[in-house]
Structure 1
Amino acid sequence: MARKKSDSGDKDIGDVIFGDLMSQMLTFFILLYIFASQNTAKESTNLFMEIRNGFTKTLKKEVKPVPTETVKPKEKEIESKLRAIIYDKNLEKYIDIIVEENKIRLIFAQPVLFDSASATLKKDFEKFLDPIAIMLKEIPYEIVVEGHTDNVPIKSAKFHSNWVLSFFRAYSVLNYFVQKYELNPKKISAIGYGEYRPRFSNTSAENKSMNRRIEINILTNSIIK
């Protein structure tokens, strides 16, 4: 009987050991599966990043910015020449220069070119326009002459609105450039804005005087041959 008890006890111990071994092997395979899944995810992520980076590098190589300096000089260069002309002729009190992207604005106060409610150039206007005209003839860019007024309604039989007055003032300047200096008519135009594009609010006499003006705009992104 003792012999049989000993055999039964050994069998029970063997079953326990076998069960523990199977549990450990199962745990081992589960861990292997988890690690493999994590590595696969990492590899997929890495692969995705490599593809994305490679595509980005390709785009960077193929997409090239359009060179703008090859089609026009810098606005600063033209500005410097204009300022030199204005200072040489002592006109800095009468002409403002504003440089914007692709545009240089020459701003003439109305009294230096025109009398009130008139679109006829004054007798001494040449000293303001002639130095600028010489420079404008040398450059190949489009030129737009703009006329502007304040918001005080005009009382004139010749001009029924500020809009009309501002246009004819701009046209007078254009016509002078074309007739005397033979500026290419293809590259110069005139437009009148009346009171609708003021530099300052029309809340004071000083602001109104600065809104009454002629602007000569040089469009450096537009070449006219």
Structure 2
Amino acid sequence: MARRKKKQKHDEHIDESWLVPYADILTLLLALFIVLFASSSVDAVKFQQLSNVFNQVFTSGTGFMEYPSDSPSDNPTSPEQMTGIKGTKGQGKSEEQQLSEVQERVNEYIQKNDLVNELDTNLTDEGLMISIRDNVLFESGVSEVRTEDRRIAKEISSLLVMDLPRSIVISGHTDNVPIKTYRYDSNWDLSVMRAVNFMKLLLDNTKLDPEMFSAKGFGEFKPLASNKTAEGRAKNRRVEILIVPRTPINE
């Protein structure tokens, strides 16, 4: 009788083979939590190291706890190597430098075509501003660009083709001389339509993305000079092209 009971107890021995896959699951969960934690850190190098470890767990079957170090040997671990990688973030030209190069190209075009009195550029915190005088593009009280001056729009459109497209705002301005015709009820209408018509000419260049363009009119309310003189009024009648930086210039 005693022997039979002993045998029965032996048959009830619990199978512990389930512990192996359970341990693997815990290992993978630990690796997942480590990667999730690393993703909230601004240290891209550490994130890449932990990501490599995570990939190693899935692809090679090596448990995370069995890994000999916290990063693969082919990743940089010395301060010099870490600095080298972080330094690549600063490579390349700043937004201000890139816009300055665009300004140089526009200024070269202005000088080459003797348009110093008609075109002007200015690099501001808002971006690169290209101003075009009214008497270059339009007849008085008219919003359509003169036929002989459409080449200017074509040339400027070529200068606006950039490796990294930026938002471009075309704005129209007038002097304070009132206007009321069957086509333009006010200077607002005239300034908006001048901006729109000039923008359409720029977008004849298929290398430019229309989604990056917008047009608006300021009427007489953003003068550059006094409207009390003919010279001042001429400066105020203008179309402006604002190339908006992708990041603030003053950062």
Q: Distance in 1 between matches of 2:207 and 2:185?
A: 31
Q: Compare 133-142 and 183-192 and name the one that shifted more.
A: 133-142
1:107 and 2:131 are equivalent in the alignment: yes
TM-superposition CA deviations, 1:83-138 (whole Å, max 9, x none): 12222232223101111124111111101111111111101112322221101123
For 1:160-171, what aligned pairs fall within 5 Å after superposition? 160-171=185-196
Structure-1 separation of matches of 2:125 and 2:90: 15
**1:166-199 CA-partner distances (Å, limit 9, x unpaired):** 0000000111111344521111110000001111
Matched residue pairs, number?
Answer: 158
Distance 2:188 2:116 in 1: 28
Larger radius of gyration: 1
Tell me the TM-score normalized by structure 1: 0.64
CA contact (8 A) 2:175 2:223 kept: yes
- 1:1-225 alignment to 2 at 5 Å? 72-74=95-97, 75-139=99-163, 140-221=165-246
- Would you identify which runs of 4 or more consecutive aligned residues in structure 1 move more than 4 Å? 66-71
What SS class does the counterpart of residue 123 from structure 2 fall into? strand
Alignment-mate amino acid for residue 104 of structure 1 = L
Q: CA deviation at 1:76?
A: 2.1
Query: What is the one-letter code of the residue matched to 2:197?
Result: S
Question: Gaps (5+ residues) in structure 1?
Answer: 1-65
Q: Any idea what SS the aligned residue of 2:239 has? A: strand
C-alpha root-mean-square deviation of aligned residues, in Å? Answer: 2.3
Q: Relative contact order, CA 8 A, sep 6+: which one is greater?
A: 1
Shift of 1:156: 0.9
Preserved contact between residue 154 and residue 205 of structure 2 (Cα < 8 Å): no
Contact 2:170 2:239 in 1 (8 A): yes
Give the letter for the 1:97 counterpart: T
Identity %: 30
Task: Check whether the contact 1:166–1:192 (CA below 8 A) recurs between aligned residues.
Answer: yes
